[in-house]
Amino acid sequence: MLPHITGFAAAMGQILFVLHSISGCQLLAPHGKPTARSERGTGGPVSKSSDVTPRHAGAATPQPKGSDSQAGAPPSAGAAPGSGPAMPTTNKPPVTPSPGNITTPGGLPSVDNPFATTRLFVNPDYAKSVAETAASAPNAAALGKLQQVSTAFWIDSTAKVTPLRTYLDAAHQAASSGGKIAVTLVVYNLPDRDCAAKASNGELQLSNNGEVQYQSYIDAIRGVLAQHSDLTIAIILEPDSLGNIVTNIGVAKCHDAQGAYERGVSYAIQTLAALPNVSIYLDAAHSGWLGWPSNRTGFATEVKKVLQMTDGRSAIRGFATNVANYSPLSVPAGATPTWYDPSNPARDELTYVQLLGQDLQNAGVNQVHFVIDTSRNGVIDSRQSWGSWCNIAASGLGVRPIVAPRADIATIDAYLWIKPPGESDGTSDGGATRFDATCAGSDAMTPAPEAGAWFGAYLIHAASKAQPPL
């Protein structure tokens, strides 16, 4: 890993950013996860309780997420589009990240940005999988560069707590060479997880003492984290959870899981945020799921409720968007992508985080910093609908991880690769237990393995369409 650049180099970076903005350059699309991790929304929010709107778009179903059986973000169903004024889309292009894995600030980070002055840890197991795929790929040289890119570690089952220790031990070793190391973890194992999805259902069931098991799971994670106090740890907390409560409460499973989700998220915040080196980013779906005014305000109200349950403490750093989705960072003014629904004022992730930030503050939530998943959103018009979330064949890798990427949107702490590119969103096998028809759709790459399994063919293709190019 390359050392973090400070002082004069950082100052030069700010000058280059200004020049880059003045010259007016390419617009890059966001990572690749519709809502949470792989939502399935399509159009706008649904008004009927029986309708399900995806996270990615605004009307479909949730999708699988990142590792083991990660499901994407849920639909944005539930409420009808609001009529509030739309914020104009940000037209400035995102800053191109520095080479390699340097986390040089691209903007003006707030003093408490947990990623400031750190190096993002590269998962050795991910680097190994990339190397194995690159060995027989036509774009081997480009793929090889991904071995130096930081990706998140998903703790999506109780069995992943033991590997977490090994992962953090490796990060500790990397820190021994000097400087702070930051790791990104995804805590994703609520009972009856992804209540509106199929491909990402989890191991814990409310009908089988799931809430108690979830608390034990959180306690076990805290025990491991407490032994690695030298690391800067960012936690992406429960993708798709509160988004499902806001838009899919008409789904019986979501309705029945609401209280458990709220209590589980609250318990996780209280337990994990108590560690001084841990910063929590609560999942906030994506622009195509919660972008409509009624969905955004509904989410803000739900967040306030959960935070009031955490002993009255707002112990989170902020929110994570576009987890495992494909919503672009920025859509050029006047552009009309195939998937875009004009009733949604949040046409891209940069607009979404600004609008959502306002709604959260209006609801009395003040921790409104954001991280955005840019792992697979390099191609703006990659899918047929906003609700498509599974292994999108035309997608490309997005902006590489970078700290404080926007000088004009200081609330964005970082762009991260939360969904490790190369991990499947869900299987295309119609006979599989967790099969979701979206994963066999016309804009999905097939054949595809189970959610979280390695999908080398997908990585090869997405890398060939990366923006910026590898």
Residues with catalytic function: 194, 240, 425
Q: Which residues does 34 contact at the CB level (< 8 Å), separation at least 6?
A: 40, 41, 54, 55, 56, 57, 60, 63, 72, 73, 286, 288, 289, 322, 324, 325, 326, 327, 386, 387, 388, 389
DSSP labels for 162-193?
HHHHHHHHHHHHHHTTSSEEEEEEEE---TT-
**Residue 314 contacts residue 365 (beta carbons within 8 Å):** yes
Count each helix (H run) and each strand (E run) in the chain, helices first: 11, 9
Q: How many angstroms separate the CA atoms of 127 and 148, rounded?
A: 7
Q: Is 102 exposed, middle or buried (0-12, 13-18, 19+ CB in 10 A)?
A: buried
Q: Which residues of 312-337 are buried (b: 16+ CB within 10 A; e: fewer)?
A: eebbbbbbbbbbbbbbbbbbeeeeeb
Report whether the peptide linkage leading into residue 447 is cis, meaning its omega lies within 30 degrees of zero.
yes
Cβ-contact 384, 342 below 8 angstroms: no
Helices (H), 42-137: 124-134
Distance between CA atoms of residues 377 and 397, nearest Å: 6
Helix axes 252-272, 293-309, angle to 10 degrees: 50
Please state, in angstroms and rounded to a whole number, the distance separating the CA atoms of residues 438 and 130: 26
- Name the DSSP letter for residue 3: P
| Separation of alpha carbons 452 and 157, rounded Å | 12
